[in-house]
Protein backbone atom coordinates (compact mmCIF):
# COMPACT_ATOMS: atom_id res chain seq x y z
CA UNK A 1 0.00 0.00 0.00
CA UNK A 2 3.09 2.26 0.14
CA UNK A 3 2.43 3.69 -3.33
CA UNK A 4 -1.06 4.95 -2.32
CA UNK A 5 -1.97 8.38 -0.95
CA UNK A 6 -2.95 8.90 2.75
CA UNK A 7 -6.68 9.02 1.83
CA UNK A 8 -6.38 5.51 0.42
CA UNK A 9 -3.95 4.11 3.00
CA UNK A 10 -6.21 5.04 5.93
CA UNK A 11 -9.04 3.11 4.29
CA UNK A 12 -7.10 -0.05 3.44
CA UNK A 13 -5.49 -1.14 6.72
CA UNK A 14 -2.74 -3.74 7.02
CA UNK A 15 -3.66 -7.27 8.11
CA UNK A 16 -0.30 -8.71 9.20
CA UNK A 17 0.27 -12.45 8.74
CA UNK A 18 0.65 -14.44 11.98
CA UNK A 19 3.94 -16.11 10.92
CA UNK A 20 3.39 -19.41 12.68
CA UNK A 21 1.48 -18.49 15.86
CA UNK A 22 -2.23 -17.99 16.52
CA UNK A 23 -4.30 -16.31 19.24
CA UNK A 24 -5.20 -18.26 22.40
CA UNK A 25 -8.69 -16.76 22.47
CA UNK A 26 -11.20 -16.92 19.62
CA UNK A 27 -10.60 -13.81 17.46
CA UNK A 28 -13.37 -11.27 17.11
CA UNK A 29 -14.03 -11.02 13.36
CA UNK A 30 -15.82 -7.67 13.54
CA UNK A 31 -16.56 -7.47 9.83
CA UNK A 32 -19.78 -7.48 7.86
CA UNK A 33 -18.28 -9.28 4.86
CA UNK A 34 -15.29 -11.17 3.49
CA UNK A 35 -12.75 -10.62 0.69
CA UNK A 36 -12.12 -13.15 -2.09
CA UNK A 37 -9.16 -13.78 -4.32
CA UNK A 38 -11.14 -16.29 -6.37
CA UNK A 39 -14.60 -15.36 -7.77
CA UNK A 40 -15.51 -19.05 -7.98
CA UNK A 41 -15.02 -19.49 -4.22
CA UNK A 42 -17.20 -16.38 -3.67
CA UNK A 43 -19.99 -17.86 -5.81
CA UNK A 44 -19.70 -21.26 -4.13
CA UNK A 45 -20.02 -19.75 -0.63
CA UNK A 46 -23.46 -18.27 -1.35
CA UNK A 47 -26.50 -20.12 -0.02
CA UNK A 48 -24.88 -22.83 2.11
CA UNK A 49 -23.53 -22.89 5.67
CA UNK A 50 -20.34 -24.85 4.98
CA UNK A 51 -18.76 -22.88 2.12
CA UNK A 52 -16.51 -19.83 2.41
CA UNK A 53 -17.65 -17.01 4.74
CA UNK A 54 -19.31 -14.43 2.49
CA UNK A 55 -21.60 -12.04 4.34
CA UNK A 56 -22.26 -11.59 8.06
CA UNK A 57 -26.00 -12.18 7.91
CA UNK A 58 -25.26 -15.74 6.77
CA UNK A 59 -22.13 -16.60 8.74
CA UNK A 60 -19.04 -15.26 10.49
CA UNK A 61 -16.08 -17.17 12.02
CA UNK A 62 -16.64 -15.79 15.56
CA UNK A 63 -20.33 -16.66 15.36
CA UNK A 64 -19.43 -20.08 13.92
CA UNK A 65 -17.15 -20.74 16.89
CA UNK A 66 -20.14 -20.16 19.19
CA UNK A 67 -22.36 -22.36 17.01
CA UNK A 68 -19.83 -25.21 17.03
CA UNK A 69 -19.21 -24.86 20.77
CA UNK A 70 -22.90 -25.05 21.75
CA UNK A 71 -23.69 -27.68 19.12
CA UNK A 72 -20.87 -29.80 20.54
CA UNK A 73 -22.09 -29.34 24.13
CA UNK A 74 -25.66 -30.28 23.16
CA UNK A 75 -24.65 -33.22 20.95
CA UNK A 76 -26.07 -31.67 17.76
CA UNK A 77 -24.82 -31.72 14.16
CA UNK A 78 -25.01 -27.95 13.69
CA UNK A 79 -26.38 -24.75 15.22
CA UNK A 80 -27.71 -21.35 14.16
CA UNK A 81 -26.85 -18.45 16.47
CA UNK A 82 -29.19 -15.46 16.60
CA UNK A 83 -29.38 -11.96 18.07
CA UNK A 84 -31.67 -13.04 20.93
CA UNK A 85 -33.36 -16.12 22.35
CA UNK A 86 -36.64 -15.08 20.71
CA UNK A 87 -34.71 -14.79 17.42
CA UNK A 88 -33.75 -18.48 17.70
CA UNK A 89 -37.26 -19.57 18.72
CA UNK A 90 -38.86 -17.63 15.87
CA UNK A 91 -36.28 -18.81 13.31
CA UNK A 92 -37.28 -22.38 14.23
CA UNK A 93 -41.07 -21.84 14.40
CA UNK A 94 -41.37 -19.66 11.29
CA UNK A 95 -38.71 -21.66 9.46
CA UNK A 96 -40.55 -24.95 9.91
CA UNK A 97 -44.28 -24.12 10.17
CA UNK A 98 -46.63 -23.05 7.38
CA UNK A 99 -50.24 -21.75 7.39
CA UNK A 100 -52.62 -24.60 8.19
CA UNK A 101 -50.09 -26.38 10.42
CA UNK A 102 -50.88 -27.30 14.01
CA UNK A 103 -48.41 -27.29 16.86
CA UNK A 104 -48.59 -28.73 20.35
CA UNK A 105 -46.96 -26.66 23.08
CA UNK A 106 -46.56 -27.25 26.77
CA UNK A 107 -48.21 -25.06 29.38
CA UNK A 108 -46.48 -23.31 31.16
CA UNK A 109 -44.38 -21.53 28.53
CA UNK A 110 -41.87 -18.66 28.67
CA UNK A 111 -43.86 -15.39 28.34
CA UNK A 112 -42.25 -14.22 25.08
CA UNK A 113 -42.81 -17.60 23.44
CA UNK A 114 -46.44 -17.73 24.63
CA UNK A 115 -47.08 -14.24 23.23
CA UNK A 116 -45.44 -15.14 19.90
CA UNK A 117 -47.48 -18.33 19.53
CA UNK A 118 -50.67 -16.32 20.20
CA UNK A 119 -49.62 -13.94 17.46
CA UNK A 120 -48.90 -16.78 14.99
CA UNK A 121 -52.28 -18.29 15.74
CA UNK A 122 -54.06 -14.98 15.25
CA UNK A 123 -52.33 -13.81 12.07
CA UNK A 124 -50.65 -16.72 10.29
CA UNK A 125 -53.31 -19.43 10.26
CA UNK A 126 -51.41 -21.75 12.56
CA UNK A 127 -53.31 -23.58 15.31
CA UNK A 128 -52.06 -24.66 18.71
CA UNK A 129 -53.05 -27.10 21.45
CA UNK A 130 -51.61 -26.93 24.95
CA UNK A 131 -50.73 -29.93 27.09
CA UNK A 132 -49.03 -30.31 30.47
CA UNK A 133 -45.23 -30.63 30.26
CA UNK A 134 -45.26 -34.12 31.79
CA UNK A 135 -48.22 -35.78 30.04
CA UNK A 136 -47.24 -37.86 26.96
CA UNK A 137 -50.76 -39.39 26.84
CA UNK A 138 -52.30 -35.92 26.47
CA UNK A 139 -49.74 -35.15 23.75
CA UNK A 140 -50.74 -38.32 21.82
CA UNK A 141 -54.40 -37.33 22.10
CA UNK A 142 -53.74 -33.81 20.83
CA UNK A 143 -52.09 -35.01 17.58
CA UNK A 144 -54.03 -34.19 14.39
CA UNK A 145 -53.25 -34.96 10.73
CA UNK A 146 -51.86 -31.42 10.32
CA UNK A 147 -49.71 -31.43 13.49
CA UNK A 148 -46.05 -30.70 12.71
CA UNK A 149 -44.21 -29.77 15.87
CA UNK A 150 -44.09 -30.17 19.67
CA UNK A 151 -42.64 -27.36 21.79
CA UNK A 152 -41.27 -28.02 25.31
CA UNK A 153 -39.10 -26.38 27.99
CA UNK A 154 -36.67 -28.39 30.15
CA UNK A 155 -37.41 -26.22 33.22
CA UNK A 156 -40.26 -23.71 33.02
CA UNK A 157 -40.50 -20.17 34.34
CA UNK A 158 -41.15 -19.17 37.14
CA UNK A 159 -42.29 -22.15 39.26
CA UNK A 160 -39.77 -24.48 37.60
CA UNK A 161 -41.88 -27.42 36.37
CA UNK A 162 -39.63 -29.98 34.66
CA UNK A 163 -40.75 -31.51 31.35
CA UNK A 164 -40.84 -35.27 30.85
CA UNK A 165 -38.42 -34.98 27.93
CA UNK A 166 -37.96 -38.73 27.28
CA UNK A 167 -41.73 -39.38 27.38
CA UNK A 168 -42.80 -36.29 25.45
CA UNK A 169 -40.07 -36.56 22.78
CA UNK A 170 -40.83 -40.27 22.27
CA UNK A 171 -44.54 -39.49 21.82
CA UNK A 172 -43.62 -36.75 19.32
CA UNK A 173 -41.34 -39.10 17.38
CA UNK A 174 -44.00 -41.89 17.23
CA UNK A 175 -46.37 -39.37 15.65
CA UNK A 176 -43.72 -38.15 13.18
CA UNK A 177 -43.50 -34.69 14.77
CA UNK A 178 -40.47 -32.44 15.25
CA UNK A 179 -39.73 -31.86 18.96
CA UNK A 180 -38.22 -28.53 20.03
CA UNK A 181 -36.93 -27.99 23.58
CA UNK A 182 -36.05 -24.64 25.18
CA UNK A 183 -33.10 -25.64 27.40
CA UNK A 184 -32.28 -22.12 28.68
CA UNK A 185 -32.95 -22.76 32.39
CA UNK A 186 -30.93 -26.01 32.53
CA UNK A 187 -28.02 -25.11 30.23
CA UNK A 188 -26.16 -27.99 28.56
CA UNK A 189 -24.37 -28.59 31.88
CA UNK A 190 -27.57 -29.91 33.52
CA UNK A 191 -29.43 -31.31 30.50
CA UNK A 192 -28.83 -32.16 26.84
CA UNK A 193 -32.32 -32.70 25.39
CA UNK A 194 -31.04 -34.37 22.18
CA UNK A 195 -29.90 -37.28 24.43
CA UNK A 196 -33.57 -37.59 25.46
CA UNK A 197 -34.91 -37.63 21.90
CA UNK A 198 -35.32 -33.94 21.02
CA UNK A 199 -34.80 -32.84 17.39
CA UNK A 200 -34.00 -29.18 18.10
CA UNK A 201 -32.73 -27.40 21.23
CA UNK A 202 -33.09 -23.63 21.63
CA UNK A 203 -31.42 -21.32 24.14
CA UNK A 204 -31.54 -17.74 25.18
CA UNK A 205 -27.75 -17.38 25.45
CA UNK A 206 -28.56 -14.06 27.15
CA UNK A 207 -28.91 -16.16 30.31
CA UNK A 208 -26.52 -18.89 31.61
CA UNK A 209 -24.47 -19.46 28.46
CA UNK A 210 -23.15 -15.87 28.35
CA UNK A 211 -23.68 -15.48 32.10
CA UNK A 212 -22.69 -11.86 32.74
CA UNK A 213 -25.85 -9.84 32.01
CA UNK A 214 -24.05 -7.89 29.30
CA UNK A 215 -25.24 -9.40 26.01
CA UNK A 216 -28.39 -10.63 24.23
CA UNK A 217 -28.26 -13.77 22.13
CA UNK A 218 -29.90 -17.03 21.16
CA UNK A 219 -29.07 -20.29 19.46
CA UNK A 220 -30.86 -23.26 17.91
CA UNK A 221 -29.06 -26.63 17.85
CA UNK A 222 -30.12 -29.42 15.48
CA UNK A 223 -29.96 -33.21 15.78
CA UNK A 224 -30.30 -33.63 12.00
CA UNK A 225 -28.51 -32.05 9.08
CA UNK A 226 -31.78 -31.64 7.16
CA UNK A 227 -33.39 -29.50 9.89
CA UNK A 228 -30.13 -27.56 10.36
CA UNK A 229 -29.89 -26.60 6.69
CA UNK A 230 -33.56 -25.71 6.47
CA UNK A 231 -33.50 -23.36 9.47
CA UNK A 232 -30.06 -21.93 8.53
CA UNK A 233 -31.40 -20.98 5.09
CA UNK A 234 -34.50 -19.39 6.63
CA UNK A 235 -32.55 -17.57 9.39
CA UNK A 236 -30.14 -16.08 6.83
CA UNK A 237 -33.12 -14.49 5.09
CA UNK A 238 -34.91 -13.59 8.32
CA UNK A 239 -31.93 -11.58 9.57
CA UNK A 240 -32.03 -12.54 13.24
CA UNK A 241 -28.22 -12.81 13.03
CA UNK A 242 -26.06 -11.88 16.03
CA UNK A 243 -23.37 -9.24 15.86
CA UNK A 244 -19.89 -10.85 16.04
CA UNK A 245 -19.10 -8.92 19.22
CA UNK A 246 -22.19 -10.36 20.94
CA UNK A 247 -21.06 -13.86 19.91
CA UNK A 248 -17.55 -13.09 21.19
CA UNK A 249 -18.86 -11.94 24.60
CA UNK A 250 -21.00 -15.09 24.78
CA UNK A 251 -17.97 -17.31 24.05
CA UNK A 252 -15.97 -15.48 26.70
CA UNK A 253 -18.72 -16.03 29.27
CA UNK A 254 -19.22 -19.67 28.28
CA UNK A 255 -15.69 -20.61 29.31
CA UNK A 256 -16.81 -20.46 32.97
CA UNK A 257 -20.27 -22.01 32.45
CA UNK A 258 -19.64 -25.20 34.41
CA UNK A 259 -18.12 -23.34 37.39
CA UNK A 260 -20.96 -20.83 37.46
CA UNK A 261 -23.64 -23.53 37.21
CA UNK A 262 -22.09 -25.34 40.15
CA UNK A 263 -22.30 -22.20 42.31
CA UNK A 264 -25.77 -21.22 41.00
CA UNK A 265 -27.10 -24.66 41.94
CA UNK A 266 -25.33 -24.74 45.33
CA UNK A 267 -26.59 -21.27 46.32
CA UNK A 268 -30.11 -22.07 45.12
CA UNK A 269 -30.26 -25.32 47.07
CA UNK A 270 -29.24 -23.46 50.25
CA UNK A 271 -31.71 -20.60 49.78
CA UNK A 272 -34.62 -22.85 48.75
CA UNK A 273 -34.02 -25.20 51.69
CA UNK A 274 -33.68 -22.41 54.25
CA UNK A 275 -36.73 -20.53 52.94
CA UNK A 276 -38.74 -23.75 53.00
CA UNK A 277 -38.24 -23.76 56.80
CA UNK A 278 -38.93 -20.03 57.27
CA UNK A 279 -42.20 -19.12 59.05
CA UNK A 280 -42.91 -16.17 56.69
CA UNK A 281 -42.84 -18.45 53.62
CA UNK A 282 -45.85 -20.58 52.62
CA UNK A 283 -44.35 -22.45 49.63
CA UNK A 284 -41.03 -22.80 47.78
CA UNK A 285 -40.85 -23.97 44.14
CA UNK A 286 -37.57 -25.59 43.12
CA UNK A 287 -37.43 -29.04 41.49
CA UNK A 288 -34.69 -30.14 43.92
CA UNK A 289 -37.15 -30.01 46.85
CA UNK A 290 -39.14 -33.22 47.49
CA UNK A 291 -42.30 -31.07 47.84
CA UNK A 292 -42.05 -29.86 44.18
CA UNK A 293 -44.48 -31.49 41.74
CA UNK A 294 -41.59 -32.33 39.35
CA UNK A 295 -39.19 -33.68 42.00
CA UNK A 296 -39.21 -37.36 40.94
CA UNK A 297 -38.94 -36.57 37.24
CA UNK A 298 -36.24 -33.96 37.87
CA UNK A 299 -34.21 -36.37 40.02
CA UNK A 300 -34.16 -38.85 37.13
CA UNK A 301 -33.41 -36.28 34.43
CA UNK A 302 -31.05 -33.74 36.01
CA UNK A 303 -27.83 -33.98 38.06
CA UNK A 304 -28.80 -30.71 39.81
CA UNK A 305 -31.79 -28.42 39.62
CA UNK A 306 -30.76 -25.01 38.38
CA UNK A 307 -30.42 -21.48 39.67
CA UNK A 308 -34.01 -20.22 39.56
CA UNK A 309 -36.66 -20.73 42.23
CA UNK A 310 -39.85 -19.04 43.35
CA UNK A 311 -41.63 -18.71 46.66
CA UNK A 312 -44.91 -17.53 48.14
CA UNK A 313 -45.11 -15.48 51.28
CA UNK A 314 -47.67 -16.07 54.02
CA UNK A 315 -48.68 -12.41 53.66
CA UNK A 316 -49.61 -12.78 49.94
CA UNK A 317 -49.23 -9.97 47.41
CA UNK A 318 -48.59 -7.19 49.90
CA UNK A 319 -45.84 -9.18 51.61
CA UNK A 320 -44.32 -10.04 48.22
CA UNK A 321 -44.19 -6.39 47.22
CA UNK A 322 -42.68 -5.41 50.58
CA UNK A 323 -40.05 -8.15 50.19
CA UNK A 324 -39.03 -6.89 46.78
CA UNK A 325 -38.58 -3.33 47.94
CA UNK A 326 -36.59 -4.51 51.01
CA UNK A 327 -33.81 -6.53 49.38
CA UNK A 328 -30.47 -4.69 49.17
CA UNK A 329 -27.94 -7.11 47.68
CA UNK A 330 -30.42 -8.89 45.41
CA UNK A 331 -31.50 -6.58 42.60
CA UNK A 332 -35.06 -5.94 41.41
CA UNK A 333 -34.60 -6.69 37.72
CA UNK A 334 -35.72 -8.90 34.82
CA UNK A 335 -33.71 -11.77 33.30
CA UNK A 336 -31.70 -14.57 34.91
CA UNK A 337 -28.56 -16.61 34.46
CA UNK A 338 -26.10 -13.82 35.27
CA UNK A 339 -23.63 -13.65 38.15
CA UNK A 340 -25.85 -11.25 40.15
CA UNK A 341 -28.91 -12.37 42.14
CA UNK A 342 -32.10 -10.84 40.71
CA UNK A 343 -35.66 -10.86 42.05
CA UNK A 344 -38.96 -10.05 40.34
CA UNK A 345 -42.72 -10.28 40.82
CA UNK A 346 -44.08 -12.41 37.92
CA UNK A 347 -47.74 -11.34 38.32
CA UNK A 348 -46.93 -7.68 37.50
CA UNK A 349 -43.89 -8.12 35.23
CA UNK A 350 -42.96 -11.25 33.22
CA UNK A 351 -46.50 -12.70 33.38
CA UNK A 352 -48.55 -9.47 33.51
CA UNK A 353 -50.52 -10.32 30.35
CA UNK A 354 -51.98 -13.50 31.88
CA UNK A 355 -55.47 -13.53 33.37
CA UNK A 356 -55.93 -14.56 37.02
CA UNK A 357 -57.08 -17.97 35.82
CA UNK A 358 -54.02 -18.43 33.57
CA UNK A 359 -51.74 -17.32 36.41
CA UNK A 360 -53.30 -19.98 38.62
CA UNK A 361 -52.87 -22.58 35.85
CA UNK A 362 -49.15 -21.70 35.73
CA UNK A 363 -48.95 -22.11 39.51
CA UNK A 364 -48.18 -18.40 39.96
CA UNK A 365 -49.72 -16.67 42.96
CA UNK A 366 -50.44 -12.94 43.38
CA UNK A 367 -47.52 -12.75 45.80
CA UNK A 368 -45.10 -15.20 44.16
CA UNK A 369 -41.52 -13.93 44.11
CA UNK A 370 -39.04 -15.32 41.56
CA UNK A 371 -35.37 -15.41 42.43
CA UNK A 372 -32.62 -15.88 39.82
CA UNK A 373 -29.77 -16.80 42.12
CA UNK A 374 -26.30 -15.43 41.36
CA UNK A 375 -22.84 -16.61 42.39
CA UNK A 376 -22.33 -14.33 45.44
CA UNK A 377 -21.36 -15.80 48.83
CA UNK A 378 -24.30 -17.78 50.16
CA UNK A 379 -24.20 -16.16 53.63
CA UNK A 380 -24.35 -12.64 52.16
CA UNK A 381 -27.35 -13.68 50.07
CA UNK A 382 -29.09 -15.36 53.00
CA UNK A 383 -28.48 -12.36 55.27
CA UNK A 384 -30.09 -10.10 52.64
CA UNK A 385 -33.12 -12.35 52.17
CA UNK A 386 -33.56 -12.79 55.93
CA UNK A 387 -33.49 -9.05 56.61
CA UNK A 388 -35.96 -8.47 53.73
CA UNK A 389 -38.32 -11.09 55.20
CA UNK A 390 -38.32 -9.42 58.58
Ligand X SMILES: *Cc1c(COP(=O)(O)O)cnc(C)c1O
| Residues of the shown chain interacting with ligand X in the complex, contacts defined by CB under 6 A | 84-86, 110, 112-113, 153, 157, 182, 184-185, 204, 206-207, 216, 218
Buried b (16+ CB within 10 A) or exposed e, 161-187: bbbbbbbbbbbbeebebbbbbbbbbbb
Whether residue 384 lies in the annotated active site: no
Measured from the CB of residue 216, what is the shortest distance to ligand X in angstroms? 5
For ligand X, the closer of residues 62 and 206 by Cβ is 206
Helical segments of the chain, H only: 6-9, 39-45, 61-74, 85-96, 111-123, 136-142, 165-174, 187-190, 225-238, 244-254, 257-276, 295-301, 316-326, 356-361, 378-389
| CA atoms 105, 117, 124, 198: torsion sign | negative
* Catalytic residue (one of 29, 64, 110, 260): 110
* Catalytic residue (one of 44, 48, 57, 229): 57
Residue 77: how many other CB atoms lie within 10 Å? 15
Measured from the CB of residue 155, what is the shortest distance to ligand X in angstroms? 8
Q: In what order do the strands lie in the sheet with 218-222?
A: 78-82, 218-222, 200-204, 178-182, 147-153, 102-107, 127-132
Cα–Cα distance measured from residue 379 to residue 381, given in angstroms and rounded to the nearest whole number: 5
Whether residue 101 lies in the annotated active site: no
Whether residue 370 lies in the annotated active site: no
Give the CB-side neighbour count of residue 369, counting CA atoms within 13 A.
36
Helix (H, G, I), strand (E, B) or coil at 371: strand
User: Cα 310 to the chain's mean position, in Å?
Assistant: 19
The closest residue (CB) to ligand X is: 85
**Beta-strand pair 342-344/369-372:** antiparallel
For ligand X, the closer of residues 110 and 309 by Cβ is 110
Which residues 6+ apart lie within 8 Å of 164 measured at CB?
Answer: 133, 134, 135, 136, 297
Measured from the CB of residue 250, what is the shortest distance to ligand X in angstroms? 11
For ligand X, the closer of residues 216 and 265 by Cβ is 216
Measured from the CB of residue 372, what is the shortest distance to ligand X in angstroms? 9
Measured from the CB of residue 82, what is the shortest distance to ligand X in angstroms? 8
For ligand X, the closer of residues 110 and 286 by Cβ is 110
For ligand X, the closer of residues 59 and 106 by Cβ is 106
* Catalytic residue (one of 207, 263, 269, 370): 207
Measured from the CB of residue 156, what is the shortest distance to ligand X in angstroms? 8
For ligand X, the closer of residues 147 and 157 by Cβ is 157
Buried b (16+ CB within 10 A) or exposed e, 146-156: ebbbbbbbbbb
For ligand X, the closer of residues 51 and 112 by Cβ is 112
Measured from the CB of residue 362, what is the shortest distance to ligand X in angstroms? 13
* Catalytic residue (one of 101, 134, 164, 182): 182
Whether residue 237 lies in the annotated active site: no
Residue 295, exposed/middle/buried by CB under 10 A (0-12, 13-18, 19+)? middle
Residues carrying an active site annotation: 57, 110, 182, 207
Amino acid sequence: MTDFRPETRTVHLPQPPLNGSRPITVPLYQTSGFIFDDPAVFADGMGRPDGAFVYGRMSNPTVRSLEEAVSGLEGGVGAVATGSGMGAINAVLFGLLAPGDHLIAQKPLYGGTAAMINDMVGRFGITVSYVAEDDPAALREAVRPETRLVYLETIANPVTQVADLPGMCAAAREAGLISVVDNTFASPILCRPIEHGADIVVHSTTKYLSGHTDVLGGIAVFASDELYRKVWAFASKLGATPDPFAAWLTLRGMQTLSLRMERHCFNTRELATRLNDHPAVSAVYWPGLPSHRSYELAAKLLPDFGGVFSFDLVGGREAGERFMSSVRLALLAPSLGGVETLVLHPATTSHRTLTAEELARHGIGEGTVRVAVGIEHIEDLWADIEQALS
